[in-house]
Each structure stands twice: as C-alpha cells, then as structure tokens.
Amino acid sequence: MASLVGSRVERKEDKRFLTGKGKYTADINIANQTYAVFVRSPHARAKIQKIDLSRALRASGVVSILTGDEIAKDKIGGLIAGWAIRSEDGTEMKIPANPPLAKEHANFVGEPIVVVIAESLDEAKAAAELVSVDYKVLKGVVNTAEAMNGETIHEGIDKNLCFDWLLGDRKAVEQAFAKADKIIKVDLINNRLVPNAMEPRACVTDYNTASEEITLYTTSQNPHLSRLIMSAFGGVAPENKLRVVAPDVGGGFGSKINVYNEEIVCSWASKKIERPIKWVAERTESFLTDTHGRDHVTHAELAVTNDGKFLGFKNETIANLGAYARVFGTVTPTYLFGPCATGVYVIPAAYTNVKAVYTNTAPVDAYRGAGRPEATYTIERLVEKAAMELGIDKTELRMRNFPKQFPFKQTLVHTVDSGDYGAGLEKAKKMSDYDGFQARRKKSEASGKLRGIGVSSYFEACGIAPSAAVMSLGCGVGLWESAEVRFNPTGQISVYTGSHSHGQGHDTTFAQIAADELGVAMENIDVVHGDTNKGTFGMGTYGSRSLTVGGVAIVNACRKIIAKGKKVAAKMLEVSENEIDFKNGEFVALKSNKKKTIGEIAFALYLPGSRDSDFKSQLPEGMEPGLIETAFFDPANFSFPAGTHICEVEIDPETGEVKVEKYTAVDDFGRIVNPNIVEGQVHGGIAQGIGQALYENAQYDETGQLITASYMDYTMPRADNFPEFNLGFTCTLATTNPLGVKGCGEAGAIASPPAVMNAVIDALGGQEITMPATAEKVWRACKSLKKSNYKAA
Amino acid sequence: MKTFNYHAPKDVNEASKLASVNSVFLAGGMTSIPSIKLGLASYKDVINIKHIKKLSGIKVAGKSLIIGSTTKHAEVASSKDVQKEIPSLAKLAGRIGDAQVRNRGTIGGSISNNDPSACYPSACMALNAIIHTNEREIEASNFFIGMFETALKKNEIVEAVEFQIPEKSNYQKHPNPASRYAIVGVYLAKYKDKVNVAVTGAKSCVYIDSDLSKKLSSNFSTSAIEGIKLDSSEMNSDIHASAEYRANLVMTYAKKAVEAC
C-alpha cells in the first residue's frame, strides 16, 4: 500500500464546509432557548457608580438581567493568566482581578458590565438599550510606550507594570558590545492587530435540571482546557458537570484560546434561569473584545565586526498586555519571544528585557506566531540594516552567521535539533532570482518606480511543548497531547484527539497518519475532536502543536493497537509473537505466510469465540477483549521549523502605493504529511504577515476608543493585494518525534513581515518606516528621498 | 426591533405618494439596509422602487447615454453601449465595492445618497449629467449640494441619469484600502470646447476643480497642470489620508487621467 503521508490528499472536511453543511456554534439552536446581549463599557476607563435596571426589566420579553454583583455573590471566578512570569528582581508578576462582568471599574471599551437575557434577540437588544449605567469617566492609559507614566489603572500595580523580565546576561552583552566595530540600532513598533477570525465568537449554553450538567457549545481552540479553566478557576461547575463542545470553528489564530467573559456568564446564567442561552458576537464586538495581537515597542542593538561577525544582541521591549493579562498574554512577550530573539544566528551574548504594561485597551494575547513574529521582526530588521551599513550582501551576511552544526545550542534557551539554514537560503535565492534583482530594479526605475528586495531568514520554536520545561518557566499546565484510537467491531476506526481543528484540516492529516500506521483505507477512519465528552482530555490547538504533539500521540496509540493485535494474531496463527510481522494492515506469520488482517483481529477482539469453536477464547489468556488504545505524548523538545522568505516590492513614489511583486518562501517543516494543507497554511500565514506589514493596524485614539473597529476602517488584505506565492521546501527531519515533523501553522506569519518591510526599506534607500507601510507613509518617505536627491543604489 | 412598513409600488407616482419625512426609497439597499441594521437610521416606511420597470435600463440617444436609476453597477460595467460610448464609466462601475455590491447597488441609489467618497457623483459632474426625476431635470452641478445631501425633495425620485458623451474621458481612483471607497477619485472628461475635472473623496462633497479644468481646457497636456499647487485647506483629513496627501493624489491622478486619455 502506498504511503498516504506525503501525498496530496484532498481535504475531507471541505465537502461539508463548501456545501454549507458545517455546523458552527451559531447553527446550534435548542428548544426554549433565550438570547443574551451584553451591555459593554463605552469608556476606556471609568468607575461604575450605579447601574439602573428598572426600565430594562420592564421591557418586553426580558427573562433576566444580571450584573457583576450577582456573579460575585455566586463566587464565580474571573478570567486568568495562564503563565506566571517572574521579574528580573525576583518578584512575581502583578495580576489584577478580571471579573466576568465588571463590577467597580471598566477598563477597556467593550468590557462587559451587564447581561440582558430575553426571549428573542431583538427584545434583548431593545432592553439592553434601556440599561442605564452611571459612569465616572477617568483618564485612560492608551499608549504603549507611555503606559508606565500614566495613572495607575489597577490598584496596587505601580507604573501599570505587570513584570520587568530578563532573559540572558546583561554583563556578557556589555562585554561583547565593547569589542564591536559597529553597533547597529533599530527602534521598532510591532503594530497591534485584530485577529479577525471569519466566524465571530459565540456560545450556546444549556443547563439540564435533572443531570445538573451544563453543556457549553462554544467557539474554542481548546475545549478541554476551557472546561478546566471554567471549572477550576471559574467555579462554574465541577468538570464532570460541565461539557464543553467546540463544533466546527471558523478560524481562531489564537483569539479563541481564551475562555471569555461571555462563555462564563452564559454558562452560569443558564443554570440560574434554567433555560438555554444563545449569544453570538456582532462584528463590532469581535473587534472590541477578541484578544488582539502584537503591540510591542522595541529598541534593539546588534554588535558586529567589520567583517560581519555577530558578537552580541540586546533587546529592550515594552509589551502592551491591554487591560488584563489573559491565558497566553504573559508568555507571548516572554518565553515565546525572548528565546527566539537571536534568530537563526550564532550570537555569543544576548539578552532580552521585556516590560509588560497594562493599558485601557482590549487584552493582547497570542496571535498567529505569538512572540516569534515579534522576535523575527526585530532580528531580521537588525541584520538587514547591518548588511546595509557594513556593505555586505544581505544573504552573504546571513550565511556567515548561520550555525554550521546541528544540534545547535542557542545562546538563550533552545537547542535546535535539526536544520540547514544555508540550504534554505540558497534555494530561496535561486527561486526568487535574487541575482537578477538589479536588472529588475533598473526596469522599475525606467518607469519612475522604486523597487526593493527584502530577505527574512527565520526559525521558530513551536510544537508546544515539553511539559516539565514549560511548567518550570511558569506555565500553569502541561502541554502534552492525547489520542485515543478505537476500532469498531466491524473494522472502522475512530481517532479521538485532544487537539482541535478550526481550519487546519485535522480530519484529513490525522486520518492519513493513522491510515499509514494501521494499514487501512483512509475512508475507514474518522477523526473526532472538540467535545469533552468524547475521547481523552487534551490541550487543544495553538503554537503549531497539533501534528508535532497531537499527531505523535495518534501514532503511539496506533502502535499500541498493533502491539495488542500482534498477540492475538500470534494465538490465532499458532506461532509465537516474535514470528509475526505487521505490514500493510496484515499480521503475517513469517514462516507460514499465513495472514490475519487487522480487521479480522479487531473482530476477534470484540467477538472472541464462534459456534464452531470450543469454550476457549481466541484471545491469549488473560487478555481483555476490545480494541481501544490511548496514548499521551509529551514531547522532549520544541519543534523548530525554519526557512528564508524573499520579498520584492515596487513603489509608486507619486502615490506611495506598495505593490508586492514577488514573494518566495522556502520552509523546512521536516516531513510533510499533506503538501496541499501545508501550502495552504503557508499562504494564510504570508497573507496575514503582508497584512501586518502593509495594511492592518488596530488604532486607538487618545481616549481609548478603537477607531478601526469595522472593515470600513480596518484594512484586511485581499487576494488582489498579493502576487502568486512562490513556495519551496527543504527537509531536515525533526529528531524529537517519530514522524520527523515540524510545525507549519505559524511560519508564514512569522517570516513575512520583515521580508516585506526590508524590501520596502530597501526601495526607500534605507529610510526606516513603521508598520503598516501605508501609502501615505511611503509617499512621505519618497518625498524626503527626492529632497535629498537620493538615487536608489 | 426596528420595524417598518414595506411597500413595493409598481409605478413612480404611487412610490412618490407613499413618501413622507419618515420614509426611504429602497433600490439596491447598499446604504439604507446597513444603516437600519446598525441603528443609524430608522424609517416608518421603506419604499422599494426596484419593481418599477421603467427605471431600469441603458440607452443611447444622440449625444447622450441614458441610464435608468435602478440600473445596477454590474449592468453598467458590462453594457456594450456604455463600454462603447463612455468606456471610463463602465470601468468606474466595475470597480465599485465588490461583486455583491455591484450586483445590487444602483446608480440612482448612489447619487441620491451622495456619499462624499462615492464614485458616480464625479462621473455625473464631469460628464455634464442631467438628473431626470419624476418632477424635473436637474443639472449635476445643482444636484450635489453637500455631504450626503442632494437637491432631491422627499417625494422626488431619480428616474434616469443622462450623460453627455465626451470625446475622451478617464476615471482614476485611489481606493481606501479597507472599504475600497475612493480616498480620491478624479474623473476627467474632454469635450470639444471644454475639459471637466471632477473630484470625489477629497472634500465633503464632489466638486469640479475649476483651476485644473480651465488649464486643461486651453491646453490638454500634463505640462499644462504641472506645478499647480492645490489648496488642501478644505480637504478631508482622517486616519486613512491627510488633506495634504489627498491634494497630492488629486494632482497625481489628474495627470494620470490626462496621460490615459
């Protein structure tokens, strides 16, 4: 049987998605359900003085209206930060209370204050407009760089500082800098982004008065983790009385990791009113309250010698957490950022210092790449600037500083098991016709345009993560993954995974893996996920972990199935176990060549006797019937995909418009299970990265109003903003998992922003510009180019 | 609930009679429906004029191209007549919004709404359009009064827009990258004795740039307008574009439009 791993199998899930047969949370309706609408703070920072519900309570169709007082009375806990980060001085991070319904203070525009539950959505909306909240408006803290000088947002948290964290050795860095010929410096802003999943957040909650169980249907990337948090920290219900179902989910990008206010409130309220409740976010609510991404202000320096050797690196960053620290809010700008800050280079001394601040803006959390795009943007901007200042070709400078051997022990945290960064760069140069760039530049100039080329070589640490390692760094949970493989008596297989697919194509890739392991047709395998009542507990999907951690758990469970099957086959074929070989779905007795298919073995395990046999079981003595195996996989290390992306842009200096002319991506994801799906992941990541570089920007005004809270003002990139992506792959197998795979979900978004910005800056003759490089910004930069009579080199 | 009475009259008279201070005419609904949904507007009566057959269609009559008010953008974009007589107008229609908008939005709806960033008003201004209503004929220059404001009375319905076919014309648009409305749109039309340069997006209402029009009328070349400094003091400034940048775009696209003619 040909191997399915590595082949372009069409996505099994697409039939249901493309024919409208998907089932999303908003598609779920339960008899007798009510509808929730949230009254949200219109102010960035305000004291809640009085809430008057009297008019709203009299409105038509109102079932119940609940506030922060009631939720506090019922001792329902707030939202949590999942990682405890310690400051450089040894003190623990400062975390404010984050109640599901704000009681005394509102700290960002959109924060929920009151929930109105009514018989219909229209009635709930109408009643919500009658809720009167008396606010004392306070001066908000909005600007990231200025946050430490603003008024204290949360009582007892001085300078609005959550932590002041250090990774690395300041002294070693100072010594390295003292030896440098040149110090390259950059000041960067990593712009704030709204994740914009196609499906807005939603939940449907259903309390069963007989079983006393709450069922929460929700838009989550990690239903098991949500249940754990809601049970252990929220106190909503014990785990055995709380079922969390995340059905089809239309994109997450990190924004659906968190348990949100609305899920907690509706679950709790459903029990209180003993009726189902449905809530679906409107797009404006998504803009205002989904966790945002990035928002760093960085000063970084690279110490180099005149012949282009990197000696030291320092990074001083202020990271905006928003109003509250959420699940991955504190780890994103620390352990997902700092360890990757030195990029794909040998840099003997390095440190990263991060000051994480609170502001009166939406909470900032993981967004596709989480920390690694920020790290890559910093180092790759520095390296490109170094190349310019040293007069060394940008690819040559990178080559000189790549590690020559693997495993590669980085200065900061990671030991990278495998890679070949030079091979990726060489391939990207060829595929992009790097050497032909000057000719293309001349051609652009002849028509009055500016042309630039930018390179971004990256690695990232994903496949999160070894449990002991992350727990030692402050993670509140282990990041293993589980799988259960169940044979039906008649031979079909259900594969349960604790990870969750919200667009990644697990139904297909996981079936490919299991089909190869078990030697059965893919059509006989169904992948099941997203329901805490089905299969084993799992940690969910984020950090490009599903295949490298969850996929391996599936492999291991399959191998346990085969091990059990072998014992049965040995008995049935009357040979010893070590005389049995398993191949292509068949157990073969080596000497006699007699065979039993895995289906026959499964059948025998469920029906271990027959009319013609005697009283003796077909199973080895003492063996339990049934064929179900479970595996938990805890990886030994992160997974380290890497590669080089090369971008070429053309600028019209009269309008400042930037056109991405060519985009080449060469990635090393180890073994590729399904090239179609991997290419799709890379495309999506690059699209979001180009979006960050050229278009997207979540902008608050000085009072803390989000002024880009709709698609009229927030620019999502569209297909006509992109050229055809030119994709290539190199392969060094991961050595830390049996599949040899590396994560691929975030790489595109990690590598692309610096590739694009380096190209824009190259076109502008080295003139620096902040993301997003909008047409007006670029036009202004072009104007100052003209003034200085700069001619692109 | 935002409730309203829905009417679908079969002729213009009936539609006009239904109108009041609390009503809205509905054609494509590309602005009125979202406004109602978002709570920005509410009406007692919504009068759908899409079923009035005579309001839709495209015809050429002598030196005029006449487009019925409920003709959709997609129909204008793909019309052989429009493509032949005023190709820039077909192109303009083909770049409004997205495919869904072009298959519902209408020319009459667009000009009656007079969004300061809409494309069609600039075409009306540059192409000496006459707006035919159920009551009168209004020249484009008297029709567009201010931001979202036109000369239309409450019960007045646009029936057709009559464009004067030019010798040459061109429309240049710098779309807002988010909404794809015009940050600046420049419509240039050249007639035998006169050139019109109409600008949308730059100010609170579409206008004819008289300076550019005059210079190009006497000498139709980019050199004629080279170095002109536009006054940006009345131009819009927002998160997408400053007034200074808009002024630059008007000049840049005016030149591009001349080059394209």
Return the residue matching tokens 């602005």: B31
Return the residue matching tokens 């089932």: A23
pLDDT at A793: 40
Nearest beta carbon to residue B174 from set A126, A655, A716 = A655
CA separation for the pair B121, A541 (Å, rounded): 50
Return the residue matching tokens 């909008």: A774
Condensed to tens digits (0 to 9), the pLDDT of residues A745-754 reads: 999 999 999 9
A655 in B contact zone (CB under 8 Å): yes
* pTM of the shown model: 0.96
Q: Which residues are CB-neighbours of B172 under 8 A, at least 6 positions away? A: B185, B186, B188, B253, B254, B256, B257, B260
A701 in B contact zone (CB under 8 Å): no
Which of B95, B239, B255 is the best substitution to test chain A (most A C-beta atoms within 10 A)? B239
CA separation for the pair A43, A703 (Å, rounded): 8
Q: Judge contact between A650 and A443, C-beta under 8 A.
A: no
Nearest beta carbon to residue A122 from set B1, B178, B241 = B1
Cross-chain Cβ contact B245/A774 below 8 Å: no
Cross-chain Cβ contact B1/A655 below 8 Å: no
* SS3 category, B228: coil
Q: How far is A193 from chain B (nearest CA, A)?
A: 14
Q: E strand or H helix at A37, and its extent?
A: strand A34-40
Q: Which of A315, A457, A338 is nearest to A758 (CA)?
A: A457
pLDDT at A787: 62
A149 in B contact zone (CB under 8 Å): no
CA distances in angstroms from B139 to B145, B150, B151, listed in the order given: 12, 11, 10
Collect all residues of chain B within an 8 Å Cβ-Cβ radius of residue A776: 240-242, 245
Condensed to tens digits (0 to 9), the pLDDT of residues B122-138 reads: 999 999 999 999 999 99
Which residue of B lies nearest to A706 if distances are taken between CA atoms?
A: B239
Nearest beta carbon to residue A654 from set B1, B242, B252 = B252
Question: Looking at the predicted structure, is the pLDDT value of residue A789 above 70?
Answer: no
A713 in B contact zone (CB under 8 Å): yes
Which residue of A lies nearest to B97 if distances are taken between CA atoms?
A: A712
Question: Looking at the predicted structure, is the pLDDT value of residue A69 above 70?
Answer: yes
Which of A285, A655, A702 is the best substitution to test chain B (most B C-beta atoms within 10 A)? A655
Q: How far is A139 from chain B (nearest CA, A)?
A: 23
Question: Looking at the predicted structure, is the pLDDT value of residue A67 above 60?
Answer: yes
CA distances in angstroms from A300 to A12, A317, A354, A401, B102, listed in the order given: 46, 8, 12, 18, 48
Q: Which residues of A756-780 are buried (b: 16+ CB within 10 A; e: fewer)?
A: bbbbbbbbbbebebebbbbbbbbbb
- pLDDT > 70 in chain A, percent: 99
Nearest beta carbon to residue B239 from set A122, A707, A775 = A707
Q: Which residues of A698-730 are buried (b: 16+ CB within 10 A; e: fewer)?
A: bebeeebbbebbeeebbbebeeebbeebbbbbb
Collect all residues of chain A within an 8 Å Cβ-Cβ radius of residue B36: none
Question: What average pLDDT does the segment A386-409 reach?
Answer: 97
Q: Judge contact between B82 and B90, C-beta under 8 A.
A: yes
Collect all residues of chain B within an 8 Å Cβ-Cβ radius of residue A708: 178, 239
Chain B residues within 8 angstroms (CB to CB) of chain A: 1, 174, 176-179, 239-242, 245, 248-249, 252
Q: Which of A212, A484, A260, A493 is nearest to A365 (CA)?
A: A260
Which of A713, A716, A778 is the best substitution to test chain B (most B C-beta atoms within 10 A)? A713
Strands (DSSP E) contained in A226-348 are 242-245, 277-280, 293-304, 310-322
Question: What average pLDDT does the segment A715-730 reach?
Answer: 97
Question: Looking at the predicted structure, is the pLDDT value of residue A611 above 90?
Answer: no
CA distances in angstroms from A102 to A77, A98, A105, A106, A589, listed in the order given: 12, 8, 6, 6, 68
Q: E strand or H helix at A525, and its extent?
A: strand A525-528
Q: Judge contact between A599 and A521, C-beta under 8 A.
A: no
Say yes or no: domain A14-138+198-251+256-289 is CATH 3.90.1170.50: yes
Residue A788 pLDDT class (50, 70, 90 cuts): low
Cross-chain Cβ contact B252/A655 below 8 Å: yes
Per-residue HEC secondary structure of A142-177 comes to CCCCCHHHCCCCCCCCHHHEEEEEEEECHHHHHHHH
Q: List residues bridging with A35 in a β-sheet.
A: A118, A278
Nearest beta carbon to residue A715 from set B178, B245, B248 = B178
Question: Looking at the predicted structure, is the pLDDT value of residue A175 above 80?
Answer: yes
Lowest mean pLDDT among A142-156, A308-322, A604-618, B122-136: A604-618
Q: Judge contact between A166 and A182, C-beta under 8 A.
A: no
C-alpha torsion A425→A427→A432→A435, nearest 10: 80
A699 in B contact zone (CB under 8 Å): yes
Nearest beta carbon to residue B249 from set A122, A655, A780 = A655
CA separation for the pair A540, A776 (Å, rounded): 41
CA separation for the pair A12, A511 (Å, rounded): 9
Cβ of A241: how many Cβ atoms within 10 Å? 16
CA separation for the pair A717, A455 (Å, rounded): 21
Using a 10 angstrom Cβ sphere, with 0-12 exposed, 13-18 middle and 19 or more buried, the burial of residue A97 is middle
Phi, psi of A53 (to 5 degrees): -100, 0
Q: Which of A773, A663, A649, A656 is nearest to A723 (CA)?
A: A663
pLDDT at A791: 45
Q: What is the CA radius of gyration of chain A?
A: 28
First vs last Cα of chain A: how many Å apart? 57
CA separation for the pair A79, A232 (Å, rounded): 11
Condensed to tens digits (0 to 9), the pLDDT of residues A233-277 reads: 999 999 999 999 999 999 999 999 999 999 999 999 999 999 999
What is the pairing mode between strands B5-7 and B45-48?
parallel
Question: Looking at the predicted structure, is the pLDDT value of residue A601 above 80?
Answer: yes
Q: Which of A477, A497, A496 is nearest to A486 (CA)?
A: A496
Question: Looking at the predicted structure, is the pLDDT value of residue A138 above 60?
Answer: yes
* Sheet with B45-48, side-by-side order of all strands: B5-7, B45-48, B23-26
Question: Looking at the predicted structure, is the pLDDT value of residue A742 above 60?
Answer: yes
Collect all residues of chain B within an 8 Å Cβ-Cβ radius of residue A715: 177-178
CB pairs under 8 A between A and B: 41
pLDDT at A630: 98
Q: Which of A221, A216, A241 is nearest to A231 (CA)?
A: A241
Collect all residues of chain A within an 8 Å Cβ-Cβ radius of residue B178: 695, 708, 711-716
What is the pairing mode between strands A586-589 and A595-597?
antiparallel
Q: E strand or H helix at B170, and its extent?
A: strand B168-175
Cross-chain Cβ contact B241/A126 below 8 Å: no
Write out residues 519-558 of A within 8 Å (CB-CB) of B: none
Return the residue matching tokens 């003002």: A713
Q: Judge contact between A774 and A714, C-beta under 8 A.
A: no
Residues composing chain B: 261
* SS3 category, A571: helix
Q: Judge contact between A462 and A746, C-beta under 8 A.
A: yes
Nearest beta carbon to residue B177 from set A707, A715, A779 = A715
Nearest beta carbon to residue B178 from set A126, A656, A714 = A714
Structure token pair of residue A268: 């709790």
CA separation for the pair B211, B207 (Å, rounded): 12
Looking at residue A547, what DSSP letter applies? I
Cross-chain Cβ contact A712/B179 below 8 Å: yes
Question: Looking at the predicted structure, is the pLDDT value of residue B1 above 80?
Answer: no
Domain spans in chain A, listed from the N-terminal domain onward: 14-138+198-251+256-289, 293-465+637-787, 480-633
Q: Which of A709, A702, A696 is nearest to A290 (CA)?
A: A709
Collect all residues of chain B within an 8 Å Cβ-Cβ radius of residue A659: none
Nearest beta carbon to residue B1 from set A126, A695, A714 = A126
Condensed to tens digits (0 to 9), the pLDDT of residues B164-217 reads: 999 999 999 999 999 999 999 999 999 999 999 999 999 999 999 999 999 999
Condensed to tens digits (0 to 9), the pLDDT of residues B28-77 reads: 999 999 999 888 899 999 999 999 999 999 999 999 999 999 999 999 99
Phi, psi of A560 (to 5 degrees): -65, -35
Return the residue matching tokens 């409305």: B181
CATH topology of domain A480-633: Aldehyde Oxidoreductase; domain 4 (3.30.365)
Q: How far is A717 from chain B (nearest CA, A)?
A: 8
Collect all residues of chain B within an 8 Å Cβ-Cβ radius of residue A699: 239
Cross-chain Cβ contact A714/B245 below 8 Å: no
pLDDT at A396: 98
Taking the alpha carbons of A255, A258, A259, A262 in that order, is the dihedral positive or negative?
negative
Helix B243-260 and helix A775-787, axial crossing angle in degrees, nearest 10: 80
Structure token pair of residue A786: 């003209």
Looking at residue A550, what DSSP letter applies? I
Write out residues 97-126 of A within 8 Å (CB-CB) of B: 122-123, 126
Looking at residue A24, what DSSP letter applies? B
Domains (range + CATH), chain B: 5-164 (3.30.465.10), 168-260 (3.30.390.50)
Residue B97 pLDDT class (50, 70, 90 cuts): very high
pLDDT at A616: 80
Which of B242, B252, B258 is the best substitution to test chain A (most A C-beta atoms within 10 A)? B252
Question: What average pLDDT does the segment A714-730 reach?
Answer: 97
CA distances in angstroms from B117 to A365, B110, B135, B233, listed in the order given: 36, 10, 27, 18
Average pLDDT, chain B: 96
Cross-chain Cβ contact A126/B178 below 8 Å: no
Which of B42, B183, B240 is the best substitution to test chain A (most A C-beta atoms within 10 A)? B240
Cross-chain Cβ contact A776/B245 below 8 Å: yes
Half-sphere exposure of A308 (CA within 13 A, CB side): 21
Question: Looking at the predicted structure, is the pLDDT value of residue A148 above 70?
Answer: yes
CA separation for the pair A68, A592 (Å, rounded): 74
pLDDT at B3: 86
Say yes or no: domain A293-465+637-787 is CATH 3.30.365.10: yes
Question: What average pLDDT does the segment A152-171 reach?
Answer: 98
Cross-chain Cβ contact A123/B1 below 8 Å: yes
Which of B245, B250, B253, B256 is the best substitution to test chain A (most A C-beta atoms within 10 A)? B245
Q: A14-138+198-251+256-289 with A293-465+637-787: one CATH topology?
A: no
Which of A60, A651, A654, A771 is the best substitution to test chain B (most B C-beta atoms within 10 A)? A654
Question: What average pLDDT does the segment B11-40 reach?
Answer: 94
Cβ of A276: how many Cβ atoms within 10 Å? 22
